[in-house]
Structure 1
Amino acid sequence: MGVNYASTIFTNYGWLFREQFTQDFGIDAHVEIFDEVDPYPTGKLLALQIKSGKSFFEEPLPDNGGFVFRPEPKHVHYWLGHTMPVLVLFFNPETEQMYWQQVTKEKLSSTGKGWKLPVPKSQLLEKDVFPREFAEMVQPEPYIQRLNRLRLDLPWMQLLGMRPANPS
């Protein structure tokens, strides 16, 4: 049910939803973000782990601001090393609502025996509300963006470095 619900939501955004039909190890689907203005694939992907069932919502955050997810350590290691941003989606079949959380070192906390990932109620996936933060997640960190820019500019720098100085 959760996979079908996620597929419907991302399709409504105009994005491509690709379920993993072969064996998976903590990633159930990928979604490709399409450009908002000119509906065209961007090549920017998110990896999705989809959880369904009311049992995922049983441990509330303090002040009832969401819930706690306790992932298996093997999955945490896999998600943190993944080349794509990883989102865990939680579908509650009783309320037909889906929540999300990105898996990052900053959001995870160690319990000594395992891991905790808080999922705020504010991170609700809605069919008609485009999650702008998802598109931002696929952008590399600023220092990687600068390195990529330098890589693109390297041929120009080399070309300019080969030219003799203009005697004026």
Structure 2
Amino acid sequence: MEINENTEFPKITINTQTGEKGITILKKIVENDFGWLFRPNHQEADFGIDGYLDIITESGQVTGKSIAFQLKSGKSYFTEENEIGIVFKGNIKHLNYYLNNETPIIIIVLDVENELAYWEAFDKTKTEKSGNNWKMTIPKNNLLNVKSKNKLLEYVGPITDYISQMENEWGFNQILKKGSNRILFRIPNEEITNNKFDFITSALERIQRTPELVLHLKNRVDICFDDYEDNNKELFEIEEVKNWIIQLYQKTNCWAYLFSMDRHSGFMKILFFCHIPILSKTIVNGRFKIDFETEFAKEFIDNLFGKLNQYCIDKNLSQQTNIEMTNKIISCYFEE
């Protein structure tokens, strides 16, 4: 049977052929000139990004860094030029997609006949309105070749060896989980006089970074104020310390879970007395006897219970743990 141009077969269009040639040329540039991976998108998933250039080091390490691209191939994309370069016209529906995409994007216009690719990084400040769409100029001196490799790398930022960082992080976690010792944070006097909380809030956040740390450090944390050891007053009687502790208490819910509440605990008892008016203080048999407003004490304890409840919810801790720490609160404040 003779086959001619009218015989019924699926046909590939000139535009499709040109597009495929453009992809082949771009792939060759990326792989031969840059030594990177060329990763095209499937057409059914084309939202204005035709593919990705995956950055590979000179040693062949796939870095996880990528540059997205939109590719336009053929003479029809060179019909409008200005003194600086080729005018690329973009679809308005792609604009929000580009602007919300955290991967750097380049626009490539490719001369198939001469196998020359021109590019420009997408940047909203480089665009102009064009009817209902937008446009940007791609400079003629921006040829995509081996000379543009370093400039492209500027858009992805430095490549970091995170494994060495993680080894340090994991090592510190192991130190925190070692044995059954407590963690004691010493608050510098400068934090209090300057009313700063960065040191302690960052430290508390760090020791709660993984669920394993949270579970291990239950009832093992304390705070001390060594710079005030020579002061004759109790810490809760020193106005600047009292005010600092009251403010700190509002910044986290971890107190009744992480902090020590046994007979050796220091901070949780200071925290209590910072929140209630002291009526009198006497020394009986070498020990303090303090009279205080019970209504304020009840208000503080209720608030502490609430913080514990919320902390257990936030950290997915069991009801059994909640009950255990509730009993420690009662023991700390009511059973001595």
Query: Contact 1:68/1:116 (CA < 8 Å) preserved in 2?
Result: yes
Larger strand fraction of residues: 1
Distance in 1, Cα, partners of 2:129 & 2:224: 58
Paired amino acid for 2:87: V
Partner in structure 1 of residue 31 of structure 2: 11
Paired positions, count: 152
Paired amino acid for 1:8: K
Does residue 158 of the first structure (1) align with residue 203 of the second (2)? yes
TM-score if structure 2 supplies the norm length? 0.41
What is the alpha-carbon root mean square deviation over aligned residues? 2.9
Query: Contact 1:31/1:47 (CA < 8 Å) preserved in 2?
Result: yes
Partner in structure 2 of residue 25 of structure 1: 47
What's the CA shift for 1:109?
Answer: 1.4
Mind listing any 5+ residue stretches in structure 1 that lack a counterpart?
A: 141-151
Partner in structure 1 of residue 107 of structure 2: 88
Does residue 124 of the first structure (1) align with residue 146 of the second (2)? no
TM-score if structure 1 supplies the norm length? 0.77
- The 5 Å alignment of 1:31-50 reads 31-36=53-58, 38-50=59-71
Larger helix fraction of residues: 2
Query: Contact 1:59/1:67 (CA < 8 Å) preserved in 2?
Result: yes
Which runs of 4 or more aligned residues in structure 1 lie more than 6 Å from their structure 2 counterparts after TM superposition? 159-163
**C-alpha distance after superposition, 1:45-87 (max 9, x if no partner):** 11111111111111111x3x21101111112222222221111
Distance in 2, Cα, partners of 1:103 & 1:88: 6
Paired amino acid for 2:102: T
Q: Secondary structure at the match of 2:98?
A: helix
> Bigger shift: 19-28 or 67-76?
19-28
Paired amino acid for 2:112: P
Identify if the C-alpha distance between structure 1 residues 166 and 120 changes in structure 2 by more than 3 Å, giving closer, same or farther.
farther
Query: Contact 1:87/1:103 (CA < 8 Å) preserved in 2?
Result: yes
The partner residue of 1:75 within 94, 97, 103 is 94
**C-alpha distance after superposition, 1:123-160 (max 9, x if no partner):** 1012x4352121111239xxxxxxxxxxx9x9xx4169
Partner in structure 1 of residue 151 of structure 2: 133
Paired amino acid for 1:11: E
Partner in structure 2 of residue 103 of structure 1: 122
Query: Contact 2:89/2:130 (CA < 8 Å) preserved in 1?
Result: no
Identity %, equivalent residues: 35
Query: Contact 1:31/1:45 (CA < 8 Å) preserved in 2?
Result: yes
Larger Rg: 2
Distance in 1, Cα, partners of 2:225 & 2:139: 59
Query: Contact 2:55/2:63 (CA < 8 Å) preserved in 1?
Result: yes
Q: Secondary structure at the match of 1:78?
A: helix
Mind listing any 5+ residue stretches in structure 2 that lack a counterpart?
A: 1-20, 159-168, 170-198, 208-221, 228-336
Q: Secondary structure at the match of 2:124?
A: coil
Paired amino acid for 1:73: I
* Higher relative contact order, structure no. (Cα contacts within 8 Å, ≥ 6 residues apart): 1
